[in-house]
Structure 1
């Protein structure tokens, strides 16, 4: 058996250049991560070849993965979602190659369960997660929404009118609403970690944490 190459620490192999895979690969490239994209559709390869390091190959074939050096990557993302069979075959190939971190896109709960059972370390649901985030944002003043575990959530939002012009201590936000202001970003100013003396202005953006239901109520205030 050939000796296994050491993983390229920090390098990411992205398989599939659909909307999810392409956006992920482009963002990794923008933030300076080493990335290689794999796509079997010739048109998509041509579309992205000037923007990303991309190889035309069929990742359902384990020999093709070995030839392009997939075993050298510490992280591989399976962005294929339109074909469940291809997604499962590619993920199984990567598991057999003992990739340290396998991230796989799922389009349904059943798809995700299959991917986990065959060995994917992380399963993501881009459409479902994006739908949840947008639902929370359109319902109030939220600009971004990150749900952690057990209902704990962090949001970026505009401050309710009743907090504007007052310090956090004066508004008694924690006592009255059960949420915690972590920081404040004023236009043209650096981000400021919040204290009791931090004053909130109408044009500010605030970062707030707490239980999701309490945050929903706080963000819904006029």
Structure 2
């Protein structure tokens, strides 16, 4: 369907939920990054509207998510589609630096409360931050760093929170197996904290001093990245 109130923009597919003022997420660009965010938010029941200028991508996603065909580098198009009514905007356009910068700048001018922008390099990230993006994501660099940690030891998942503080899922070192957390003295010996334990066929439990660790358990452990690396490297 065509929304005649949108100059140079066409709405496609099922209508999205009308967001309240400063609510909902506007996702600009339906490449792999943007489409993953838009579809996940939509599946979770969030107010989301995707914006894409490529007719091919619009045809691919029409009917699957709330979608508008428009060029977000045009400030008038953004304004007329109601972009200022969204509390969060995600700029998934990363490969085209000029478009990424223009779109981010347009959102800054609209006063969007939270702007997340994809960058493809450190230089690109610095530019986006300087013009007002609140959060800049480098997906390939972040994924590469995460995978490097995973392939180097017993870690099964790795999330760096901030300033080196990290949470990992890992197999227990041999010296902890068969002992309680208190007996293992993991925090005293290694400087990391076991948050929880997941035994096969059982529900996740938060770790207590008397929680016993078995060889086939999964541990959720927090601490500084360097200390976690050393703990995970134990045989």
Structure 2 portions without partners, runs of 5+:
1-18
Q: Cα gap change, 1:149/1:8 in structure 2, threshold over 3 Å: closer, same or farther?
A: closer
Shift of 1:6: 6.5
Match of 1:140 among 153, 168, 173: 153
Contact 2:194–2:222 (Cα < 8 Å) also in 1: yes
Query: Match for residue 135 of structure 2?
Result: 122
Once residues 115 and 177 of structure 2 are traced to their aligned partners in structure 1, the CA distance between those partners, rounded to angstroms, is 45
User: Once the two structures are superposed, what CA deviation does each residue of 1:78-120 show, in whole Å capped at 9, x if it has no partner?
Assistant: 0000100000000111111111111111111111111111111
Is 2:45 the counterpart of 1:32?
Answer: yes
Contact 2:22–2:84 (Cα < 8 Å) also in 1: no
Is 2:198 the counterpart of 1:185?
Answer: yes
Match of 1:82 among 86, 95, 99: 95
Query: Match for residue 71 of structure 1?
Result: 84
Q: Secondary structure at the match of 1:36?
A: strand
Where in structure 1 do 4 or more consecutive aligned residues deviate above 6 Å?
Answer: none
Once residues 7 and 192 of structure 1 are traced to their aligned partners in structure 2, the CA distance between those partners, rounded to angstroms, is 40
Structure 1 portions without partners, runs of 5+:
none
Shift of 1:188: 2.6
Is 2:179 the counterpart of 1:155?
Answer: no
Q: Secondary structure at the match of 1:127?
A: helix
Structure 1 vs Structure 2 CA RMSD: 1.5
Q: With the length of structure 1 as denominator, give the TM-score of the two structures.
A: 0.93
Q: With the length of structure 2 as denominator, give the TM-score of the two structures.
A: 0.88
Q: Secondary structure at the match of 1:120?
A: coil
Once residues 30 and 185 of structure 1 are traced to their aligned partners in structure 2, the CA distance between those partners, rounded to angstroms, is 27
Shift of 1:187: 2.3
Query: Match for residue 92 of structure 1?
Result: 105
